Amino acid sequence: MPDIKVTTKINKPPRLVYDILKEPNKFPLFMKDAKKIDVIRMALGNAIITKWAVDIDGTPIEWTEEDLYNDKEKRIKFRMVDGDLKKYEGEWTLSPVKGGSRISLSIQLEWGIPNFEKYIGSILENKLCRSMRSMVWLIRKRANKGM
């Protein structure tokens, strides 16, 4: 599957948006696709291990990921360490722009089943793109409410 990227502007400072992103266990409170996200443990430095259960248009997916936080650059890199997919990794980036922040979410994903990807990969890719756009929009909505 190709790389997918979603970017938008939020009329709030990067620090506020970054603070929302640093609490993934709260995502299910405002994201319908996120069914359960648990912080399993805090790792060394600025890393955490999280367990995710999501439902993308009726397709349940679970994985465990490592999130690496760069507080100075307001950037979060993540990668799956175990789960239903062959590969899942990406990055949240925040940058200041006039009147707020630019937030970007990029994901590289491989389902891991070649025939599956061949025949319905584009359908799944469209579902994932919609889910990512929704995730970024919901982060923006949450930031605009002031958390």
pLDDT of amino acid 23: 92
| Whole-number Å distance between alpha carbons of 98 and 106 | 22
Asked if 90 and 69 count as a contact pair (C-beta separation under 8 A), the reply is no
Asked if 66 and 43 count as a contact pair (C-beta separation under 8 A), the reply is yes
61 is written with which tokens?
């997916």
Over residues 139-145, the mean pLDDT reads: 90
| Tens-digit pLDDT profile for residues 26-66 | 999 998 889 999 999 887 778 999 999 998 878 888 999 99
| Tens-digit pLDDT profile for residues 65-124 | 999 999 999 999 999 999 988 889 999 999 999 999 999 999 998 877 655 556 556 766
126 is written with which tokens?
């469209």
Over residues 4-16, the mean pLDDT reads: 93
Q: Which domains, and CATH codes, for the chain?
A: 4-144 (3.30.530.20)
Q: What is the reported pTM? A: 0.85
